Amino acid sequence: MHRKYNPQEVEEKWQAIWEQKNLFRVFENPAMPKYYLLEMFPYPSGNLHMGHVRNYSIGDVLARYRRMRGWNVLHPMGWDAFGMPAENAAISSGVHPAHYTEQNIQRMKRQLRRMGFSYDWAREVNTSRPEYYRWEQALFIQMFKKGLAYKKESEVNWCPRCQTVLANEQVEGGRCWRCEEEVELRDLEQWFFRITAYAEELLEYCDRLSGWPERVLTMQRNWIGKSAGARIRFPLPDREHGAIEVFTTRQDTVYGATFMSLAPEHPLAMDLARGTDREQEVSAFIQRVRQQDKRKRIAADDEKEGIFTGAHCLNPFSGRRIPIFVANFVLMEYGTGAVMAVPAHDQRDFDFAKRYGLPIQVVVQPKSGEILQSRSLHAAFAEDGVLVGSGPFDGLESDVARDRMNRFLEEKDMGKAAVQYRLRDWCISRQRYWGAPIPIVYCDRCGIQPVDEGDLPVTLPFDVDFQMKGSPLAAHNEFVHARCPNCRGTARRETDTMDTFVESSWYFERYASADYQQGLFDPEKVHYWMPVEQYIGGIEHAVLHLLYSRFFTKVLRDLGHVKFDEPFSNLLTQGMVIKDGAKMSKSKGNVVDPDDMVERYGADTTRLFTLFAAPPERDLDWSDLGVEGSFRFLQRIWRLAEDWRESLLQVEAYEGPPPAEEPAGSLYRKVHETVRRVTRDIEERQHLNTAVSSVMELVNALYLAQPPDPRQRPLECAVLRKALETTLVLLSPFAPHLTDEIWESMGHRIPLLQVPWPSYREDALQREQIVLVVQVNGKVRGKIEVPAAASEEEIQSVALEDEKVKRFLAGKAPRRIVHVPQRLVNIVV
Ligand code: ANZ
Ligand code: ZN
């Protein structure tokens, strides 16, 4: 009686066995090579979507593969559990965020279990629990004491819908990364992490992250945005002292600086006009520009406008008196908030000069071609060239001139070489409830005081009013009321919470010792497991999470908590799941629910399809037909096993050298070739899709075979058993339930995860065929194909069996056969 493939039954059975055997539990073992495989942990939204399933299926294949290869594999899972949706649910439907989050976690955990992922659940991390965030608070305090966490008033991104500030990294095209509401700019007191202190190191180490996709590194480099240039002081001749300092990347053009542009927020902007007849006008202009959207102000196509302050400064190189303007396109946050304007070589300055009738002076000529005239210039020449009208620097090429000018600046104490980064400090305070409270107290006598580390955690109060406008914590008197850690007097508690990206910046280290009570993590365990060998997640985190995590690792290192510089050695960014041409998402209405898939086809089919349909980095186009195909493939293997089991159980799987006889020899070679291809595809290229198709080819080959009577042809039977069992081993990381079920039915007692990954024999792979010319009595009569390693006898018999040759032999027995290796066979009759 043949059994029918019932995936749900098989899967439940094996999930229970794995759990009961504690198969996925790992411990630190210095005697074993370790491998830390990590997928980005999910926000507990309540439902696993196909993007998760894909991400985690990829990770599970790699984790199971490494374990079978003999590594001690850490493969943990947890919950990025703070954040807005839980709070929004509380506001709209009255569920407490803690309950909402807890329920969602339970549901998603069940879904993950049903997929058969090999997580060590004993290391589960939930970032919304005080056991977790108390250590984050401890870290905050340590950072505060080192000046790496600080508070300042600044213009910040404000999302009116989420009623909270956002980091620069969380504003995408002027909109909130989460709710897509247009973001406003507001001046508010906020907490920052000094990521800029690590700008240079974060940039420099990009070159060492050889296991990261170039695309991600480029995005990080651009985000950090290093510019090398100079700072130059332009003295104010009408004042007793003082100067305007500019940052420029084109110090070679300084002789062509014919005016100065200040940001409206620049302290001198108003100051210079004050008490003059220009005061009213300048003030009105500044007021107006400050209302404008900043992104618009600097957009290339936006109207450049400005106003003359009435004051002048001196170009320290040309000695020329130049007018000082306030201009809308200069931002206070970048460089010094002042720009030396060179209209001949910068298009913005050119447009501005044309509009306000300011002088244009060419000081860099193209290396070849037409000579530019200041008077007839119709666009800025922004490239490097050769200097003219630049005094002692005439004739120098731009790059040489920049170096010389830097030296000159320092010698004459007029400025210096300087670098500038686009990266801003990370604004981490949020005016929301569902986050880790910032452990700070405000005392009228002692000022800003960190909570004593011994008094942590500062726990979120449970009973808050979510219907309040603004932060519910600020309205919770008991929470707000605090004692000053310094003078013990009454004080006021900080009511802002931390950005959820803070939790995800160190959770991977927490997994090393998830229940550790004495600190962020057990130093020995974190030392054993970190860094992560393979991290897997979406490209959308290329700058946000991945940059913050790198920053945190460096901070932890400098605070003495860890000894490594970078958290993730290799990064794999998986593509999106697409259906009907669009990203699978609720709003597009094209969602395929993993639960439905598991109910219809089982977890193995769902996993296999997502792995087979595309290479991990590429987008995956959902196809119902493809799912059917994967299901049929698994059914095929099932049937094969059912049909063959009885015969195969009578022999041992063949483990010897390549058999000489056919068809055993070919099948044997096919098996070893498949092992080689699958191993290389997984390990070297992570092309899991082609790994699956290699296994499919092997199964096709098996389908052409038929076990003979084991008593008559035991070798052939043994090779078939080897072939079927190898199929199971190779496929087990992809479809672990089905393969374990068949494996067990073949008489094995150990689950496949504990079976060593097969190796292949080099001598089994020399299958290259060669072509030999066949002559009869010295005349070419045909060609034959034989294995390169074929013996003399084999070659002779193939030649004599060839149809054409047979015709010329006409039944006569050969007298002599001459074989010229690699070339020909001559049959003499
Ligand atoms: C003079 C000059 C001449 C410039 C020239 C360019 C071309 P990156 O590469 O992005 O670092 N700049 C400096 N601070 C600014 C601010 N706060 N707001 C707007 N623009 C600012 O750009 C550096 C260049 O951006 C600087 O070099 C400065 O203009 C401008 F032919 O200085 B340049
Ligand atoms: Zn005090």
**How far is ligand 1, taken at its centre, from the CA of residue 352, in Å?**
14
Cβ contacts of 688-694, under 8 Å, gap ≥ 24:
688/58, 688/61, 688/611, 688/612, 688/615, 688/616, 688/734, 689/611, 689/612, 689/613, 689/614, 689/615, 689/616, 690/615, 691/730, 691/734, 692/608, 692/611, 692/612, 692/731, 692/734, 693/612
Ligand 1: distance of its center to the CA of 341 in Å? 9
Contacts of residue 386, Cβ cutoff 8 Å, sequence gap at least 6: 364, 365, 366, 367, 395, 396, 397, 398
pLDDT band at 604 (very low <50, low <70, confident <90, very high): very high
- Nearest ligand 1 atom to the CA of 346 is 31
Q: Report the share of the chain in percent with pLDDT over 90.
A: 77
61: nearest Cα among 465, 611, 699, 666: 611
The minimum-distance atom of ligand 1 relative to the CA of 334 is 17
Average pLDDT over every residue of 658-672? 92
Q: Label residue 134 by pLDDT band (50, 70, 90).
A: very high
Closest-lying ligand to the alpha carbon of 443? Answer: 2
| Distance from the Cα of residue 28 to its chain's centroid | 27
Q: Where in the chain is the domain with CATH 3.10.20.590?
A: 769-828
Pocket test for ligand 1, best of 339, 374, 420 (most atoms within 8 A of CB): 339
Q: Could you give the CA distance from residue 700 to residue 38 in angstroms, rounded to a whole number?
A: 34
Looking at residue 387, its amino acid is L
Candidate of 248, 383, 405 to mutate for ligand 1, largest count of ligand atoms within 8 Å of Cβ: 248
Q: Residues 37, 537: contact at Cβ < 8 Å?
A: no
Average pLDDT over residues 158-180: 82
Among protein residues, the one whose CA lies closest to atom 26 of ligand 1: 248
Q: Rounded to whole angstroms, how far apart are CA atoms 610 and 243?
A: 63
- In the chain, residues under CATH classification 1.10.730.10 are 643-765
**769-828: what CATH class?**
alpha beta
The protein residue with its alpha carbon nearest to ligand 1, atom 31, reads: 345
Q: Is the separation of the CB atoms in 829 and 809 below 8 Å?
A: yes
Per the CB < 8 A criterion, the answer to whether 513 and 522 are in contact is yes
- Give the pLDDT score at 786: 84
For residue 522, the model assigns a pLDDT of 97
Q: Which CATH number fits domain 229-417: 3.90.1580.10, 3.90.740.10, 3.60.21.10, 3.40.109.10?
A: 3.90.740.10
Kindly report the pTM of this predicted structure. 0.86
Pocket of ligand 1 (CB under 6 A): 227, 247-250, 253, 263, 330-331, 334-335, 337, 339-340, 342, 345-346, 420
Q: Residue 501 belongs to what H/E stretch?
A: helix 500-503
Q: State the greatest distance between any 2 C-alpha atoms of the chain, in Å, as a whole number.
A: 122
Q: Summarize pLDDT for 286-302 with one digit per residue, the tens.
A: 999 887 777 677 776 77
Query: For residue 411, is pLDDT > 70?
Result: yes
491 alpha carbon, closest ligand:
2
The H or E element spanning position 73 is: strand 72-74
Angle at 403 between CA 401 and CA 405, to 5 degrees: 65
What local confidence, expressed as pLDDT, does residue 511 receive? 98
If you take atom 28 of ligand 1, which residue's CA is the nearest one? Answer: 248
What is the tens place of the pLDDT at every residue in 197-251?
999 999 999 999 999 999 999 999 999 999 999 999 999 998 888 999 999 999 9
Residue 55 contacts residue 536 (beta carbons within 8 Å): yes
Q: Going by CA atoms, what residue is nearest to atom 25 of ligand 1?
A: 248
Ligand 2 ion: nearby residues, β-carbon < 5 Å: 443, 445-446, 484, 486-487
Residue extent(s) of CATH 3.90.740.10 domains in the chain: 229-417
Contact of 342 with 258, CB cutoff 8 Å: yes
Fold classified for 643-765 = Isoleucyl-tRNA Synthetase; Domain 1 (1.10.730)
Predicted confidence (pLDDT) per residue in 10-29, tens digit: 999 999 999 999 999 999 99
Compute, in angstroms, the gap from residue 382 CA to the centroid of ligand 1: 12
User: Residue 402 C-alpha to ligand 1 middle, in angstroms?
Assistant: 14
Contacts (Cβ under 8 Å, ≥6 apart) of 669: 658, 764, 765, 767
Cα gap 701→137, rounded to integer Å: 60
Asked whether residue 803 carries a pLDDT value surpassing 90, the answer given is: no
Ligand 1 mutation pick, 221, 346, 347, max ligand atoms within 8 A of CB: 346
If you measure from the C-alpha of residue 246 to the centroid of ligand 1, how many angstroms do you get, rounded to a whole number? 9
- Residue 533: per-residue pLDDT: 98
Q: Are 505 and 548 in contact (CB under 8 A)?
A: yes
CA of 230, nearest ligand number: 1
Q: Could you tell me which of 579, 687, 688 has the C-alpha nearest to residue 623?
A: 579
Q: Give the Å distance between the CA of 808 and the centre of ligand 1.
A: 87
What does the pLDDT average to over 679-698?
94
- Rounded to the nearest whole angstrom, what is the distance from the C-alpha of residue 403 to the centroid of ligand 1? 17
CATH number of 13-135+501-581: 3.40.50.620
Query: Is residue 768 very low, low, confident or very high in pLDDT (cuts 50, 70, 90)?
Result: low
- 281 vs 782, residue with greater confidence: 281
Measure the N-to-C terminal CA separation of the chain; round to a whole number of Å: 58
Q: Which of 390, 508, 418, 454 is nearest to 80 (CA)?
A: 508
- Closest to 346 measured CA to CA, from 257, 246, 226: 257
Nearest residue by C-alpha to atom 27 in ligand 1: 248
CA-nearest residue for atom 29, ligand 1, is 248
Q: Is 345 exposed, middle or buried (0-12, 13-18, 19+ CB in 10 A)?
A: buried
Could you report the per-residue pLDDT of 480-525, keeping only the tens digit for each? 999 999 999 999 999 999 999 999 999 999 999 999 999 999 999 9
> At residue 543, what is the residue type?
V
Using the mean position of ligand 1's atoms as its centre, give its distance from the Cα of residue 249 in Å: 6
Under a CB-based contact definition with an 8 Å cutoff, are residues 166 and 183 in contact?
Answer: yes
Q: Which of 231, 234, 245, 249 most suits a substitution to test ligand 1, by most atoms within 8 Å of the C-beta?
A: 249
Q: Is 152 exposed, middle or buried (0-12, 13-18, 19+ CB in 10 A)?
A: exposed
Residue type at position 314: L
> pLDDT at position 767, please?
58
